[in-house]
Structure 1
Amino acid sequence: MEQAQQNEHKGIDSNLTSGIHSSYWIDSLPALQFMPLEGSIETDVVIVGGGMAGISIAYQLTRQGKKVVVIEDGDIGSGETGRTTAHLATALDDRYYELERIFGKEGARYAAESHRTAIDIIEQTIQYESISCDFERVTGYLFLHPSDQEASLQKEYAAAREAGLDVELLDAAPGLSRSGRCLAFANQAQFHPLKYLHGLCQAITANGGQLFTATKAVEIDHTGVVTDQGFRVDAAFVVVATNTPVNDRYVMHLKQFAYRTYVIGGLVAKDAIPHALWWDTGDFKANANIPPYHYVRLQSYDETHDLLICGGEDHATGLAFAQHITDEERYRQLECWAREKFDITEIIYRWSGQVMEPMDSLAYIGRNPADKDNVFIVTGDSGNGMTHATIASLLIPDLIQGNVNKWKKIYDPQRFKFFRSGKTWLKEFAGGLFRYMREYPYDADAVELSSIGQGGGKIVELGNSKYGVHRDEEDDLHVVAAECTHLHCIVQWNNDEQSWDCPCHGSRFTYKGKVINGPANKDLFYYREKAPETSTRIGSK
């Protein structure tokens, strides 16, 4: 199992991925790198972000004859695309009976149609560009979590059929032990997301598009972007596809919440389990507003094994402590759940990712609110990032070209469905705020450096300022300013991925202060020093 040993890095290589754990997708391919931008240029469209959304939009625009420039501060797919589990589904994280309540029957039909079309577009693109990326059509099975009621399956069955989906009600899910009754969604799919991006990038460059990696956009407005090296990309249109918008300070971040989600990869006997997608309906005891659910798929691995990829155990970013469950325990719970249902021989992968949950269940794709009409954003993936990104690749080019698109309204970033979804939004926003305030490090002035173990991190106080301190395996101390560079919330240590995470809006930083997730777009102040040999009390009064 040599490949399993590649899964953990000593520190975060932020060009490669946003944590110390790398995913199977990242480990199975060479990094996809291009030259950094080395001069100022002009283009029709500049796209900030080289993940599934940015690359898919660039591909469609170059096929339409547009001059396109993509800039990415890491490698292609080094953000959340490289940490997904790559389900391609019309069975969405949020139930269709909820979508029908919020958006009406027509809106629910458009949601189903857009995700079904996204899967078709991916399949057609793979065929047209001859991309080898393990694409496979499969059936998806939605089954009850023990905390849920069977009536919810009946409601979802009726709503999904009303939305135009091919769905059946079955007594049990194939390949899954003790599932009970379930819904079978036909014509779902799965693929290797980074292999797909490799193919798209080849097509983009063949179509005249330009891709620049290791190039960070530090200023973004309606005229284009300025990079960290001071070069300009002037453009008629600007698209920000950075998981959560780094060009927006307030508006969008009050309409969505960031969650960490955990993934394990376990070996199962080759072809012992049918290739399919499985999801439970979510743990209502953990969070009745947005129930965290488990999601499973298979990936071909070697001649004797498939890799069963299982995710779940979500929590609000930076607030893992609120449920008093450690990161290690979340992986253990995920493993126990998976072993109850599948015959796994060995766990060889684990990683985590970040999901942006919109207040009303659907992604935000379109013109950036309170901005010029030529600035567009893609955010709020809601756990369906691969299909939402592909929807963006159809919708945003239509908006740029001035074409009518019937999905525009349901994905409009300016929408505000407060009266239909505000109850959940208020509970999540206010609940997260109060949990954050309860754990705000008021006692940082009493923290001793000796209490920080190797691999750990804590907030300490020096004078009137708070700092995050991480001790590495050599006992060196890595010190960052503890205020997030977005809106100055105090970051929290993520022991699993060895990062500093902001509980307010989901920004994340390496232990050296480099920003790896927005909405923050500036690094934390950082310095390094050798750990003192004796116990030292910081900030004693």
Structure 2
Amino acid sequence: MVSTSLWMDMEILPEAAELNGDAHCDVAVVGSGIAGLSTAYELSKRGQSVIVIDRKGIAGGMTARTSAHLAPLCDDLMTEFKKLRGAEMAKLFYESQAAAVDRIERIQASEKIACDFRRLDGYLFQGHGMPAEIIDQELEAVKEAGAPVHRLVGVPLKGCESRHVLRYPRQATFHPLKYLAGVAAVCETNGVRFFANSPIEEVAERDGGVTLRTAQGQITAAHAVIATNASIADRFQLHTKVAPYRTYVVAFAIARGELPDALYWDTEEPYHYVRLHPGSVDHDFVLVGGEDHKSGEANDAEARFARLESWVRGLIPALGKVTHRWSGQVLDTIDYAGFIGREPGSERVYLAMGDSGQGLTHGVMGAMLNTALILGEESSWQPVYAPDRKPLAAARNFLRENLTILQNLAEYIAPGEIGSLEELAPGEGAVLRRGLEKIAAYKDKAGELHLHSASCSHIGCHLHWNSFESCWDCPCHGSIFAPNGQPINAPAVSALRPVQT
């Protein structure tokens, strides 16, 4: 089954042209996922002229691969957030993420965007064989942050009748691309210009403004917002404080009424999550996700999907057939909050980087925060997400995640995965050693070879083939490359170096 999410039957602004020549605006927004489009919406509503530019189609990135939870609590538990950032920052984190959900609710209502938005309960339940103390500790941390929470026993999943549970009222969910289609339409009405299939090759501050250069033209602006999750403006500093993870989602058909409409997730590591989405008159979709791993450090998607299916069928026997399977990439920060605000060392470049598994709420909240900062306004959320913060309490996470870089670079002295190109079957990719060089080799379905350096064009990390998504993944900072060597996910901006046969 091809990797296709439940949301991907939509194309947003297919008429968006490539940038050709020069353009000018108050604020240039790089990236057209929920962070980029929300930023354009907020700024254009405040009278700013805005250009949105993307290396692919509009809203064609990781936002289209979300599971669409709108949960304002820390994805890695409020207990862990409080340990690293303290009680006051935990409270501000919750308030800012909850404000993002409120903002989505207001926008879809005021702009009349039909996106299946609804408020519902969320249930965090005790993982199999895990102690109930996790639930008790989280209860106290959530209460201290000011979030509504209730302690229960049991969720409506088979075998979970006696599990310890926290119920969170007023969580939410929606159809992310229907929402972004509505936001993009409002942006166009407000004069926002969109350019697609136009990779930014350079971001530079000069002459009291910002210049963004592509192969075919450039944009000059008073300010720029890099809303690509993994920044293309910062080369290395902030990337040492984030780590890319691949996550997996399966959608099943289910008869309407078989499962109460809510968000469900457990305390296992990595955790599992379950949610519903409306289908036709008589059936809905159940989305099940989890089985996360560091990007590029596993190539066993089929086994992970099988484990997800086995896990959830044991809990929900009424599930029907699998309808969709997909994976996406999240960028975890070492202290669980994104890096949002002015780029360190810059005056006019702003970042929205590091979703930590909460890209939807981070994206909308980040749009509100960056808009306020660009317009010279103060925000109590600024210190929570400040890109120049130094989270000393997260030093252990910093060291653990950056060990990946050392281990990865050591792979250059290891043998190749194949001994010759003849070993590649059509549709497969693998790394070949040729002398001192490692080659990322791919053979397409027609038998044509595509050979490139296996060195990521960001900082040179060793790439790995992802057979499910048919791409090259970088384990260090999350760059992703198409089989033809073109970058399709930040932070890389340059193509892989071609290698001759």
Q: Which TM-score band (shorter chain)?
A: over 0.9
* Equivalent of residue 234 in structure 2, options 248, 252, 262: 248
1:515 matched to 2:483: no
Quick one: structure 1 residues 177 and 224, their matched pair in 2 at CA, closer, same or farther if it must change by over 3 Å? farther
* Equivalent of residue 173 in structure 1, options 155, 177, 196: 155
1:381 matched to 2:355: yes
- 1:393 is matched with which residue? 367
Quick one: structure 1 residues 445 and 213, their matched pair in 2 at CA, closer, same or farther if it must change by over 3 Å? closer
Listed as ranges, the matches of 1:151-230 within 5 Å are 151-175=133-157, 177-178=159-160, 180-222=163-205, 223-230=209-216
Q: For the residues of structure 1 that align with 2:225 and 2:110, how far apart are their CA atoms?
A: 25
* Equivalent of residue 449 in structure 1, options 405, 411, 421: 421
Quick one: structure 1 residues 175 and 40, their matched pair in 2 at CA, closer, same or farther if it must change by over 3 Å? same
Listed as ranges, the matches of 1:410-489 within 5 Å are 410-418=384-392, 420-430=393-403, 432-433=404-405, 435-436=407-408, 439-440=411-412, 442-444=414-416, 447-489=419-461
Give CA deviations for 1:19-48 in whole Å, capped at 9, x if unaligned: xx1211012x23432122233121110000
- 1:304 is matched with which residue? 282
- Is residue 417–residue 430 contact of structure 2 (8 Å, CA) maintained in 1? no
- 2:266 is matched with which residue? 280
Give CA deviations for 1:273-310 in whole Å, capped at 9, x if unaligned: 11111111132xxxxxxxx2111211112222211111
Quick one: structure 1 residues 445 and 381, their matched pair in 2 at CA, closer, same or farther if it must change by over 3 Å? closer
Higher mean displacement: 305-314 or 220-229: 220-229
Quick one: structure 1 residues 176 and 198, their matched pair in 2 at CA, closer, same or farther if it must change by over 3 Å? farther
- Is residue 12–residue 181 contact of structure 2 (8 Å, CA) maintained in 1? no
Quick one: structure 1 residues 147 and 440, their matched pair in 2 at CA, closer, same or farther if it must change by over 3 Å? farther
- 2:293 is matched with which residue? 315
Listed as ranges, the matches of 1:403-414 within 5 Å are 403-414=377-388
Higher mean displacement: 97-106 or 185-194: 97-106
CA positional deviation for 1:445 = 9.3
Q: For the residues of structure 2 that align with 1:346 and 1:263, how far apart are their CA atoms?
A: 14
- Is residue 70–residue 361 contact of structure 2 (8 Å, CA) maintained in 1? yes
Calculate percent identity across the aligned residue pairs: 36
Listed as ranges, the matches of 1:19-418 within 5 Å are 21-27=3-9, 29-33=10-14, 34-146=16-128, 148-175=130-157, 177-178=159-160, 180-222=163-205, 223-283=209-269, 292-320=270-298, 326-342=300-316, 343-370=318-345, 372-418=346-392
3-state SS of 1:26 partner = coil
1:506 matched to 2:478: yes
The number of equivalent residue pairs is: 495
Q: For the residues of structure 1 that align with 2:158 and 2:28, how far apart are their CA atoms?
A: 45
3-state SS of 1:217 partner = coil
- 1:288 is matched with which residue? none
Q: For the residues of structure 2 that align with 1:198 and 1:72, how far apart are their CA atoms?
A: 15
- Is residue 135–residue 192 contact of structure 1 (8 Å, CA) maintained in 2? yes
3-state SS of 1:170 partner = strand
Q: For the residues of structure 2 that align with 1:108 and 1:31, how far apart are their CA atoms?
A: 35
CA positional deviation for 1:434 = 5.5
Q: For the residues of structure 2 that align with 1:340 and 1:525, how far apart are their CA atoms?
A: 47
Counterpart residue identity of residue 399, structure 1: L
Counterpart residue identity of residue 400, structure 1: I
3-state SS of 2:402 partner = helix
Quick one: structure 1 residues 150 and 438, their matched pair in 2 at CA, closer, same or farther if it must change by over 3 Å? farther
- Is residue 218–residue 225 contact of structure 1 (8 Å, CA) maintained in 2? no
- Is residue 175–residue 274 contact of structure 1 (8 Å, CA) maintained in 2? no
Q: For the residues of structure 1 that align with 2:438 and 2:123, how far apart are their CA atoms?
A: 48
- Is residue 224–residue 232 contact of structure 1 (8 Å, CA) maintained in 2? no
Q: For the residues of structure 2 that align with 1:92 and 1:468, how far apart are their CA atoms?
A: 37
CA positional deviation for 1:475 = 2.5
CA positional deviation for 1:380 = 1.0
Q: Which runs of 5+ in 2 are unaligned?
A: none
Give CA deviations for 1:223-271 in whole Å, capped at 9, x if unaligned: 3344433312111111000120011111110001000001111111122
3-state SS of 1:132 partner = coil
- Is residue 418–residue 431 contact of structure 2 (8 Å, CA) maintained in 1? no
Give CA deviations for 1:425-479 in whole Å, capped at 9, x if unaligned: 212322x246535655621397122322333211113343321111223322221
Give the superposed CA RMSD.
1.8
Quick one: structure 1 residues 202 and 484, their matched pair in 2 at CA, closer, same or farther if it must change by over 3 Å? same
Quick one: structure 1 residues 159 and 30, their matched pair in 2 at CA, closer, same or farther if it must change by over 3 Å? same
Quick one: structure 1 residues 528 and 178, their matched pair in 2 at CA, closer, same or farther if it must change by over 3 Å? farther
Q: For the residues of structure 2 that align with 1:437 and 1:249, how far apart are their CA atoms?
A: 17
Q: For the residues of structure 2 that align with 1:122 and 1:446, how far apart are their CA atoms?
A: 49
Q: For the residues of structure 1 that align with 2:242 and 2:325, how far apart are their CA atoms?
A: 26
Give CA deviations for 1:404-443 in whole Å, capped at 9, x if unaligned: 100000110111112x11112212322x246535655621
Quick one: structure 1 residues 484 and 31, their matched pair in 2 at CA, closer, same or farther if it must change by over 3 Å? same
Q: Which runs of 5+ in 1 are unaligned?
A: 1-6, 9-20, 284-291, 530-541
3-state SS of 1:40 partner = strand
- 1:535 is matched with which residue? none
Quick one: structure 1 residues 375 and 226, their matched pair in 2 at CA, closer, same or farther if it must change by over 3 Å? closer
Counterpart residue identity of residue 204, structure 1: C
CA positional deviation for 1:374 = 1.1
TM-score (norm 1): 0.88
- 1:287 is matched with which residue? none
3-state SS of 1:310 partner = strand
Give CA deviations for 1:501-536 in whole Å, capped at 9, x if unaligned: 11221111011111111111111134798xxxxxxx
- Is residue 368–residue 377 contact of structure 1 (8 Å, CA) maintained in 2? yes
Counterpart residue identity of residue 361, structure 1: Y
Give CA deviations for 1:158-193 in whole Å, capped at 9, x if unaligned: 110111111101101235642611110110000111
TM-score (norm 2): 0.95
Counterpart residue identity of residue 409, structure 1: P
